[in-house]
Every structure is written in structure tokens, then in C-alpha cells.
Structure 1
Amino acid sequence: MKRKRFTEEQIIAVLREQEAGAKVADVCRKHGISDATFYNWKAKYGGMDVSDAKRLKALEEENARLKKLLAEQMLDAAALRELLNKKMVGPAAKRDAVAHLRSAMGLSERRACTIIGADRKMIRYSSCRRPETELRGRLRELANERRRFGYRRLFILLRREGEASGINRIYRLYREEGLAVRKRRSRRRAVGTRAPILVEARPNARWSLDFVHDQFACGRRFRVLNIVDDVTRECLAAVPDTSISGRRVARELTDLIGRRGKPGMIVSDHGTEFTSNAILAWSKDHRVEWHYIAPGKPMQNGYIESFNGRMRDELLNESLFFGLDHARSAIADWVKDFNTARPHSSLGYQTPAAYAEVLAATGSSTAQIEGSAPPPVAQPAPQGVTETVEALIAAG
């Protein structure tokens, strides 16, 4: 800033000379100023003494400082408005915000960092990590093959191929590649007290049955009868057809028992196929306990409901079926993959077939000690609402 030639005290002294009777021209010649400068001084400082001039100077400085603060505050507010729709969580997002403020508003790096509260060292930091191109490519390939798999199951698949990276690195690459599976979750509601029944950790201890519905490309609907082992989580059968009656269910169960053995208990809802005379007679003839969940409580049959959700999410919603033969072959391939290749989170990310082999080879007690999966616990109806085949037969 250029230094003034005359201070306020000197200016007031010059004005006092003219007020004492000296001519303006003589005063201007004496002090080397123009007439315009003299009259400007007189308009600004006329009638003042030295203290008034100092007070005026202080007010002008204060006013200039307040104007500067106001301008800076308005600039900060404008910068924050520029970032209203930007998410500033994490170093990368803050780097983008600083770059945007510098390009859009012409702010300095220091000022932009002050506005968003970022450290300049963090803004200038550049990553030294390896690009990991091959691992990223393989992760994208697996995610494209299994579009509904999250990073945990993709990590298990990579580990099977010999990849030594930890789950934290896989998760970072999974997020950076934008492979996250978006899933709408329903609101959790309180379900009250339940009365669980402990099931022995062995195959065929308990089966669950339920139907899942879909339609062909032509619009015709079909249904799939799913049968799941609650202990090993294996899908024992998935029978698609346009119509499945109670007799058909009984026939499928008879064939399944011939291949696998008789279950200790079967659980289902109150569907008309499961409460038909054919099923009641079949249960009585084969001496298999049939347990019906409480009406309107699908969570009491949680294993088959979870399986139905996985089937719909990973197969039915991802496929377009052109006929019954196409649906049967696609569902059979998916069931085989589910049992032998797909990692199951409830079994410590083992496959159901591998977990069943462990149970068969070592026994339930050893499997519970060595295996990472907890012992299965079924969720039946609470006491007082349980219905069995004998109760339905007695009721007619």
C-alpha cells in the first residue's frame, strides 16, 4: 500500500493556516499541493481537530475490516452452496471438493481446505498402492458371473482359486470397482418371545417345504416345490411345474426318501397342498412327524423362506424362462451350484454338500467343535398354536 505524504495531523495544520487568513494559493504553493487536493481535505477534515481525525481514521479502518470479513463470509457461504450436493466423506471426496472450489470459484488451495476443514497434506497426498489390475479384473469377472454375490462370497471364491489377499483388500477393491449389490431391506418388527426346538445336528433331522412362484416369458405362471434340509442347508429337491397337487408332493417325498432316507420331521405352512388328505395319509403311512407353523408366521419356517429368497434373488429375478423344460434345466443347474459351489454364510462359508460330508464323516458333536457353523436351531410355532397331522385328522 502506498504511503501517504501527509498525516491527518499535518492536513489539519494546513487547514488551520488557511483559516488563520492565508490565501489558498499561497498555502498550496508552500506545501506543494494542488487546489483540488486542498479543497478535498477541507471537505473531509474541515472543522476537525487532531482527535476527531484520529477517530475518523479508526472508524474507516474498522469499516474496511468489517467489509473484508463480510466479503469472506459471503464467499465461504457461496463455496458451501457449491458443495451442497457433494458428499464429503473420506479423503477422496474432500480432494474432489477442493478441486471443484479451485476450478469453479478460483479459490486458493489453502482457502478451500479451510472452508471444508481438510488438511492440505491429505489433499496433496497421492496413493502409492499397486494398481492390482489382474485382481480387479478377476473380481469383476466373478461379480458379473454371480451378480447377486457380495464381497464375502466373492472373497471365498477367490480364495479357492489361490488368491492370498485378505478380505479387507477384497472389500476395498470391491467398493472401488462399484460392485456393491443394492438390496432393499424391509423394516424389522418385534416378533415377541419364541419357543425354539433344538434339532440334532445330523442330516435328515428336519426338512422344510414351501412353494415359490414365477412366470414364463409368455406370461404363464408356474410354481416350484422346494425341499430343504434344515441342518445341512442342502436343497434336496426343487420341482417346477405349472400345477403341483398334494398327491404330487407325496410322490416327490416318497422318491426323495428312497434316495436319501426318512426325515425326523417335516415343517410346512398351512397350504392346501400340505393339508390335503393325500399328505395326511402319506404322513401317517410313513410315520413321519409333520409340523405346521402358526398361520401368518412365515418366520417360523425361516430356513425354507431364506432359501426361497436366495433363489428368487439369484435365479428367478435374473432369468427369463421360455418354457417348462428351460425352467427345469436352469433350476437344476442352480440347485447343483447351490449345493456344491455356493459358499453358505450360516455354515462358515462352506458349501452345504461339504458340510454334510463333515457331519457324516465325523459325527454331529465333532462337527460342532471343529466346524465354524453353529448348531442349527429350528423356529417352530410357539406353544399353544402348534398343529400336527394327528390334530388335523382328529378335527376332520
Structure 2
Amino acid sequence: MARKRPKPEEIVSKLRQVEILMGQGMSRLDAIRQIGVVEQTYYRWRKKYGGMGADQLKELKRLQKENERLRKAVSDLTLDKLILTEAAKGKLLSPARRRACINHVRHKLRVSERRACRVLKQHRSTQRKLPKGRADEKRLVADMIELARQYGRYGYRRIAALLRDAGWQVNDKRVERLWRREGLKVPMKQPKKGRLWLNDGSCVRLRPEHRNHVWSYDFVHCRTDDGKAFRTLNVIDEYSRECLAIRVDRKLNSSDVIDVLSDLFIMRGVPSYIRSDNGPEFIAVAVQDWINAVGAKTAYIEPGSPWENGYCESFYARFRDEFLNGEVFYSLKEAQILIEEWRKHYNTKRPHSALGYKPPAPETIVQMDQRPVMH
């Protein structure tokens, strides 16, 4: 049966016993045999514990424990630093990224799951419990991708609004998460504009206050597939953001402007102001006299300052980016039909960010009274 290794206290006690026996006249070799060890063991003990008392032994044990603790702390800090270095660059904001990073660290450094989770601040239950998608998530993603394919320049907020219109009970955050997971591209946001000031210091801000308060109109140029140019005269209501009319023709002059405005005035009434740039079709004497005659006022922007007509410029950017840049027109008639279809979609279906992601003029469903008529 193997003997137990003596404790430091026992070793010091035996060394003291040898000293006492030698003091009584016994030879060193006999004294060593008296404590039951060989001579080599005695000298090894005396080299390590010789001259120590109980207090010095306690202090030695304390220092040894402190040294071991510091060595373990340095080792832990070194390992934690290796884990953080091996982790992914940047902030690990989502549980999914932390989960993947912890698996990578465990495979690379051969550390425990508990250690990696503690260093990277991931709860172990979150690490072990894999997320389960909802039962309807595949259908939702399919509908979202179909809308993104159909309206390629819409961001996730407009897609979310269209999904809600289609009957889905989803919020913007869920759509954004699925949007980014599928790798769909979010269109670049338009930078904010500063205040608009004239040279005399007066602020140019004729803000629309109600429908038919301020209308804006201007021209957009495009070409058919044969290279021939055509123009579109666009009229919008600045308050409701509704596109009132788009006239498409090879050439448009001041008489065409009066013709379009006449039809709109008959159907919708006369607005208080009509805002436009200083194009020859708009500053023509015939146009100005006709507008004044029907009771409206003109509001011309400063020359060379298209940003003062912000509502029109914003509409033209959407018109060109979402429609004109993605269509090939083989004839003028095709352009007229497709542009009119897009105008109806813009007014009745397309979510507008300035209107809380509602269309400017949504279609209404009128339910007929189904009660029987009494004769």
C-alpha cells in the first residue's frame, strides 16, 4: 500500500525532531532513520523547508496560493483575449451572429461553450435554442420577393405597406429582418434639403394647406425605341401628392398646357396657386392671362432654382427611377397607355412615405344595398 505524501506541517515537524535528536547527541544518520526517511529525502526537505517555523510555513502557503491564483488569472485573461481576437470583427449585435461566432471560436480554440458564451456575452440558452421561424414565413418571404421583383425601386417600408394592404399582419421590423436576410437591396435615401431663401432674405415656402390649394406642373423628356423624343406634362396636387394628369406627346406648347388645365379645372375645380418654373410654355402671355381669368394665381420659382419646386422634382425622380428607366417604348401610343397605367398605380396603390405609407388617392369599394325592394 502506497504511503501518503506528508504535508508541509509534518515535514517541518520532522525536521525539528531531527534537530532535537542531534542536540541530544545522536548522530545525524541515526536521527534521519528515526523519522523514517532516507538521507536524500531529508536533505531535500531541509533545502525546501529548513529553518521555517509555523508562521513562515503559513505565509509560504499563502504566497503559493496567491501565485497560483495570479497564474490562473493571467491564463484566463490570455485565453479571453484570444477568444475576442478570434471573434468576428465589429459589434455582434444579433443573437444569430453571436451564435455563429461562438461556434467558430469553439472549433478554432477548443474552448468550452460556457467559456465562449461568457466572454462574448451570449446566454447559453440562446446559444443552444435555435430559432424557429413562423409557419407562414415562407409564404411571406415569397410574397415579399415577388413585390420586390415587381417594384424594384421600393424599399422595405413600402413593401411592408403593400403586404399589409394584401392582408398580412406584419410590421416594418419583421419585413426589414427578412429583407436583409434575403439580401435585397434598400434604395439609397434622398438627403434632406435646407431652407430655401431668396436674395432679399424672404423665405420661399408656399406650403399647401388643403386640396386644390397649390398645384405644380412641369415637363419630363424621354425617347421611344426609335430615338424620337417625346414630352410629358405632369400636373400634381402638392397637398395630396396626387398626380392629376400626365399628357404625353411629341411636342407640347402653351396651348396644350391650357388644354390640360381646362380639363382639370372642369373636373376638380380651380386651385388657388399654380407653381411652375420659368419655361416658355408657362410664362407665355396666353397662359398667364387664361389662369388669371379663371381666378387662379401663378407662383413662379426663381430662375435656376429647381429645388424651390420640390414636390414636382420629387415626383419626377420617382417617375423616372421607378418607371421610365425600366421601360422601352416602341411607339408613342404605347408610351401613352403605359404611362397612364403607371399614373393610376401611383395614385391608388403605391405607398407614399409622406402620407404614412398610404397611396395619394386609394380606390374605394362601394357596397350596394342588398336589401329587397318592397313593392
1:209 aligns with 2:214: no
8 A contact 1:283–1:290 mirrored in 2: yes
Give the conservation status (yes or no) of the 8 Å contact 2:114–2:124. yes
2:144 is the counterpart of 1:145: no
SS in 2 for 1:256: helix
2:10 is matched with 10
Residues 240 and 327, structure 1, Cα contact 8 Å, conserved in 2: no
Give the C-alpha shift of residue 136 in structure 1. 2.0
Identity of aligned residues (%): 35
1:291 — aligned with what? 299
1:215–1:221 CA contact under 8 A, matched in 2:
yes
The whole-number CA distance in structure 2 between the counterparts of 1:25 and 1:273 is 125
User: CA contact under 8 A between 1:208 and 1:227: conserved in structure 2?
Assistant: yes
In the superposition, the TM-score normalised over structure 1's length comes to: 0.69
User: Separation in 2 of the partners of 1:216 and 1:107?
Assistant: 66
Q: Is the 8 A contact 1:267 1:292 kept in 2?
A: yes
User: Which amino acid in structure 2 is aligned with residue 137 of structure 1?
Assistant: A
- The CA RMSD over aligned residues, in Å, is 4.0
Number of residue pairs matched by the alignment: 343
User: Residue in 1 aligned with 2:96?
Assistant: 92
Counterpart contact for 1:8–1:50, Cα < 8 Å: no
In the alignment, what sits opposite 1:311?
A: 319
Q: How many Å separate the matches in 1 of 2:103 and 2:92?
A: 12
Which runs of structure 2 are paired with 1:173-188 in the superposition (5 Å)? 173-179=178-184, 181-186=186-191
- Aligned AA (2:311): Y
Q: Distance in 1 between the 2:194 and 2:239 partners?
A: 26
Match of 2:243 in 1: 234
Distance 1:294 1:53, change over 3 A: same
Matching residue of 1:41:
45
Distance of 2:150 and 2:131 partners within structure 1: 30
Report the Cα offset of residue 216 of structure 1.
8.7
Structure 1: state its 5+ residue gaps.
359-396
Q: Residue 120 of structure 1 aligns with which residue? A: 124
The 1-side partners of 2:162 and 2:86 are apart by 43
The aligned runs of 1:1-396 (5 Å cut-off) are: 5-16=5-16, 20=22, 26=30, 29-83=33-87, 85-132=89-136, 133-161=138-166, 163-167=167-171, 170=175, 173-179=178-184, 181-186=186-191, 189=194, 195-202=205-212, 205-212=213-220, 225-232=233-240, 233-237=242-246, 239=248, 248-261=252-265, 263-264=270-271, 265-270=273-278, 272-273=279-280, 279-287=284-292, 289-295=297-303, 298-317=306-325, 319=326, 321=328, 331-347=339-355, 349-354=357-362
Q: CA deviation at 1:66?
A: 0.6
Q: Within 2, Cα distance between the matches of 1:188 and 1:312?
A: 20
Distance in 2 of aligned mates of 1:107 and 1:182: 42
1:189–1:45 Cα change, 3 Å = farther
| Higher mean displacement: 209-218 or 82-91 | 209-218
Secondary structure at the residue paired with 2:309?
A: helix
Shift in Å, 1:110: 2.1
In structure 2, relative to structure 1, the CA distance for the partners of 1:189 and 1:266 (3 Å cut) is: closer
1:63 positional shift:
0.9
Cα deviation, residue 220, structure 1:
10
Change (3 A) 1:94 1:217: farther
8 Å contact 1:87–1:93 — kept in the other structure? no
Q: 1:35 to 1:342 in 2, by over 3 A?
A: same
Distance 2:330 2:12 in 1: 104
C-alpha deviation, 1:134, in angstroms: 1.9
| CA displacement 1:314-349 (0-9 Å, x = unmatched) | 2345x2658775866654543343234323344555
Aligned-pair CA distance for 1:69 = 0.8
Structure 1 residues 220 and 9 mapped into 2: Cα distance closer, same or farther (>3 Å)? farther
Confirm or deny: 8 A CA contact 2:291 2:298 kept in the other structure: no
Amino acid at match of 1:104: K
| Structure-2 change in CA distance of 1:296 and 1:43 (3 Å) | farther
| Bigger Cα Rg | 2
Q: 1:298 to 1:129 in 2, by over 3 A?
A: same
Partner in structure 1 of residue 200 of structure 2: none
User: CA distance change for structure 1 residues 297 and 49 in 2, over 3 Å: closer, same or farther?
Assistant: same
Q: Is the 8 A contact 2:217 2:233 kept in 1?
A: yes
TM-score, normalised to structure 2, is: 0.73
Is the 1:24–1:35 contact (alpha carbons within 8 Å) kept by the matching residues of 2? no
| Contact 2:323–2:342 (CA under 8 A) maintained in structure 1 | yes
Structure 2 residues without counterparts, runs of 5 or longer: 198-202, 366-375
Deviates more, 1:336-345 or 1:218-227: 218-227
**Displacement of 1:267:** 0.8
Partner in structure 2 of residue 392 of structure 1: none
Secondary structure of the residue aligned to 1:261 is helix
Greater relative CO, 1 or 2 (CA 8 Å, sep 6+): 1
The residue aligned with 1:381 is none
Partners of 1:156 and 1:281 in 2: how far apart?
A: 44
The residue identity in structure 2 corresponding to 1:116 is: L
